[in-house]
């Protein structure tokens, strides 16, 4: 069941009936995409930031942060973060609100990036649609490699100690007003609701303008870049095709389900499986809209490290599957 199906209906009605744009036209696809993704990501942003405000209030986030940073977990913390990404299969832009919530809750930066890489990379398509299209062996291998890429990517960012490149307001551990008070008087629930709302909306307001800009660019790319333009350059066996496919996918923006038919058609037209996977994973994991949203929360050095490490991981996925096929 798609919880955002009503949003899609609203986007369809607004685009094709209210605005009267021709169905399946370039403009229609772009406008429909913009309305749908803006509402979907906006709702996710509000809901997740409100939820994380409650989490920050009740959980001893400073203690959790100390546990995660001062004890040796031997990679299990990165594995848990990557697996959390698997069960929250968002596209790259939709996973950013939860990523920012983790940052603001004091979760170590490497662990949060393991989630950010895994969430769009290992997704509902790779879990449930791959078996019918590419077989169970390919499905299992892709998901295992995807989790490993997320863990290694998060670990590398953590080892580089790049917390200094996160904007300071997203690293503040927001304190519980109950714990600030000397007394033990209970805070009324109405005051808590207002506090949580203000806390969550502070981050939402800072991020949302970048969401609008990012979704607008994604809509233009989604609506006006023909699929055939990409396919004709990828049916080649040279070593440079995987990097080309990866870099071609980075500026684009779509969720895994919408891009999977392109991948299947490309493989059917002679594109190597690894090349097609590199193209798909670059689209769903990295994008210009995602970069614009993340730029509000971090400086360009950290953003460049995230993109660079993830691009290398995606290329490795492509080379592995090209070699095996």
φ and ψ at residue 212, rounded to 5 degrees: -60, -50
Sign, CA torsion 184/188/191/196: positive
Per-residue pLDDT of the chain (325 residues; tens, 9 = 90+): 567 889 999 999 999 999 999 998 889 988 998 898 888 878 877 887 787 678 667 765 556 556 555 666 667 888 888 887 776 655 666 677 778 777 776 778 888 899 888 887 886 667 776 886 788 899 899 999 999 999 999 999 988 888 888 877 665 544 454 444 444 457 788 888 888 888 778 867 876 786 787 678 767 866 776 666 656 667 677 889 999 989 988 877 766 656 766 777 677 767 889 998 998 888 888 877 778 878 877 888 989 999 999 999 999 999 999 998 7
At 157, list the tokens.
């960012």
Residue pointed to by tokens 């950013």: 96
Token digits of residue 267: 């493989």
* DSSP letter (8 states) at residue 16: I
CA–CA separation, 138 vs 166, rounded Å? 37
pLDDT of 216 reads 82
| Phi (first) and psi of residue 140, to 5 degrees | -65, -45
Q: Give me the pLDDT at residue 24, please.
A: 83
Q: What is the model's pLDDT at position 42?
A: 82
Every domain of the chain and the residues it spans: 5-324
Per-residue model confidence (pLDDT) at position 116: 87
Q: What are phi and psi of 165, to 5 degrees?
A: -100, 5
Tell me, what's the pLDDT at 183? Answer: 44
Angle ∠(67,192,179) on CA atoms, nearest 5: 45
Of 260, 264, 283, which Cα lies nearest the Cα of 273? 264
Point out which residues pair with 298 in neighbouring strands: 166
Q: Which two tokens stand for residue 284?
A: 């769903």
């Amino acid at each position: 069941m798609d919880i955002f199906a009503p949003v899609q209906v609203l986007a369809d009605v607004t685009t094709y009936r209210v605005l009267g744009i021709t169905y399946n036209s370039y403009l229609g696809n772009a406008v429909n995409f913009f309305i749908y993704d803006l509402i979907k990501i906006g709702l996710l942003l509000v809901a997740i930031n409100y939820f994380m405000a409650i989490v920050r209030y009740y959980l001893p986030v400073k203690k959790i942060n100390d546990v995660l940073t001062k004890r040796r977990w031997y990679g299990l913390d990165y594995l848990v973060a990557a697996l959390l990404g698997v069960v929250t299969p968002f596209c790259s832009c939709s996973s950013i609100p939860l990523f920012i919530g983790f940052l603001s809750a004091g979760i170590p930066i490497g662990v949060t990036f393991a989630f950010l890489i895994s969430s769009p990379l290992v997704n509902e398509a790779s879990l449930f649609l791959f078996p019918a299209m590419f077989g169970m062996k390919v499905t299992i291998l892709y998901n295992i490699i995807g989790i490993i890429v997320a863990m290694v990517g998060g670990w590398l960012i953590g080892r580089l100690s790049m917390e200094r490149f996160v904007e300071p307001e997203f690293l503040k551990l927001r304190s519980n007003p109950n714990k600030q008070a000397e007394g033990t008087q209970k805070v009324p629930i109405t005051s808590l609701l207002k506090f949580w709302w203000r806390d969550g909306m502070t981050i939402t307001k800072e991020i949302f303008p970048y969401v609008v800009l990012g979704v607008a660019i994604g809509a233009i790319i989604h609506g006006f870049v023909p699929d055939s333009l990409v396919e004709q350059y990828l049916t080649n066996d040279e070593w440079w095709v995987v990097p080309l496919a990866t870099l071609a996918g980075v500026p684009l923006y779509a969720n895994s389900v919408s891009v999977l038919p392109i991948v299947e058609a490309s493989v059917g037209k002679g594109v190597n499986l690894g090349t097609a996977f590199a193209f798909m994973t670059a689209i769903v994991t990295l994008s210009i809209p995602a970069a614009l949203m993340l730029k509000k929360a971090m400086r360009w050095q950290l953003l460049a490290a995230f993109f660079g490490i993830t691009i290398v991981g995606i290329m490795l996925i492509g080379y592995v599957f090209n070699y095996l096929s």
